[in-house]
């Protein structure tokens, strides 16, 4: 992050719920000065006060960054307060799902420097992944600053166009819920085979978390190869995979339909 620039001119954070708090904690850990931050939130947490963060105070006239982290349904009331900042060279970074760059331009103006981001909930533990895309006014330096800010809570990828954002929402944005449901389903399947509920859930949680960490620590190995590595021909894993990889009723078709449904809903909400 260009911390010198941000510390010199300030950062405004609109909304400090779970995502906003995770981002702010990451920035502070990376050297953002507490006194340069202004948080606007109708229900500020005790944590903010304990950190000595300015809450609901005057907004700097020319901050380096404005981060929009409120829910989309709260945008209409909150954004007009910050609209004048669109006339400055501040980077306006949105992590609000479903709100397009075009909508932000109607508030901040076409001259505003805008970057739209789609993080996911593992950002709360520093293991998220965020996709970003900028408007026509956002240059390489602006995208690099946005990437640096968001890397405080995990990985960051750049999209070629905003049209890809709904697919990102359907895959990685909604994806953590799919994984949590997988844990539920695995535990229920273990119970069906005679395991006690607590034991089945413990086994399912640890298995999913451990497999995810193995994939995380070996990025050079494809997911397909990781699967092959733990599958002995004719063994128990192969028997289970024969069901899960069935082209008509297995994971591939089921997840294609799930991601497609979430993607389409994202398009509808963005209208």
Q: Is 18 among the annotated ligand-binding positions? A: yes
Q: Is 15 among the annotated ligand-binding positions? A: yes
Q: Is 19 among the annotated ligand-binding positions? A: yes
% of the chain surpassing 70 pLDDT: 99
Q: Is 56 among the annotated ligand-binding positions? A: yes
Q: Is 43 among the annotated ligand-binding positions? A: no
Q: Is 65 among the annotated ligand-binding positions? A: no
Q: Is the dihedral of CA 51, 54, 56, 59 positive or negative?
A: negative
pTM of the model: 0.89
Q: Is 209 among the annotated ligand-binding positions? A: no
Distance of CA 267 to the CA centre of its chain: 17
**Contact between 145 and 91 (Cβ < 8 Å):** yes
Q: Is 177 among the annotated ligand-binding positions? A: no
The whole-number average pLDDT for the span 38-48 is: 88
pLDDT at residue number 70: 86
**Contact between 159 and 131 (Cβ < 8 Å):** yes
Which among 17, 22, 67, 14 has a CA at the least distance from the CA of 45?
Answer: 17
Nearest 5°: the CA angle 258, 259, 263 is 120
Q: How many CB atoms lie within 10 A of CB 51?
A: 16
d(CA 121, CA 114): 22
Domains of the chain by range and CATH? Answer: 3-164 (3.40.50.720), 173-269 (1.10.3730.10)
**Contact between 10 and 33 (Cβ < 8 Å):** no
175 falls in which pLDDT band (50, 70, 90)?
A: very high
The whole-number average pLDDT for the span 225-248 is: 95
pLDDT in tens, 76-109: 777 888 999 999 999 999 998 888 999 999 999 9
Q: Is 71 among the annotated ligand-binding positions? A: yes
pLDDT at residue number 98: 80
How many CA within 13 A on the CB side of residue 159?
Answer: 21
Is the model's pLDDT at 143 over the cut of 90?
Answer: yes
2 falls in which pLDDT band (50, 70, 90)?
A: low
Beta strands in the chain (DSSP E): 11-14, 37-40, 54-55, 65-68, 91-94, 113-118, 128-134, 154-158
The tokens of 31 are what?
Answer: 């050297």
Is the model's pLDDT at 266 over the cut of 90?
Answer: no
263 falls in which pLDDT band (50, 70, 90)?
A: very high
% of the chain surpassing 90 pLDDT: 75
């Amino acid at each position: 992050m260009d911390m010198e620039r941000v510390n010199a001119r300030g950062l405004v954070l609109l909304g400090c719920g779970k995502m906003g708090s995770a981002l702010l904690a990451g920035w502070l850990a990376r050297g953002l000065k507490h006194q340069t931050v202004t948080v606007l939130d109708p229900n500020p947490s005790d944590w903010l006060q304990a950190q000595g963060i300015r809450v609901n105070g005057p907004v700097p006239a020319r901050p380096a960054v404005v981060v929009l982290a409120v829910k989309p349904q709260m945008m209409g009331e909150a954004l007009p307060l910050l609209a004048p900042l669109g006339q400055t060279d501040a980077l306006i970074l949105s992590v609000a799902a479903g709100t397009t760059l075009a909508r932000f331009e109607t508030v901040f103006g076409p001259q505003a420097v805008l970057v739209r981001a789609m993080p996911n909930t593992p950002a709360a533990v520093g293991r998220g992944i965020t996709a970003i895309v900028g408007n026509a006014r956002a240059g390489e330096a602006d995208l690099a600053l946005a990437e640096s800010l968001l890397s405080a809570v995990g990985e960051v990828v750049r999209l070629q166009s905003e049209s890809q954002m709904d697919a990102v929402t359907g895959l990685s944005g909604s994806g953590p819920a799919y994984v949590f449901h997988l844990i539920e389903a695995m535990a229920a399947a273990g119970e069906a085979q005679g395991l006690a509920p607590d034991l089945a859930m413990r086994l399912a949680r640890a298995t999913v978390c451990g497999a995810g960490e193995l994939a995380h620590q070996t990025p050079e190995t494809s997911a397909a190869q990781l699967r092959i590595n733990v599958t002995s021909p004719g063994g128990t894993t192969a028997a289970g995979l024969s069901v899960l990889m069935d082209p008509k009723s297995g994971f591939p078709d089921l997840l294609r339909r799930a991601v497609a449904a979430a993607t389409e809903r994202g398009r509808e909400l963005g209208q």
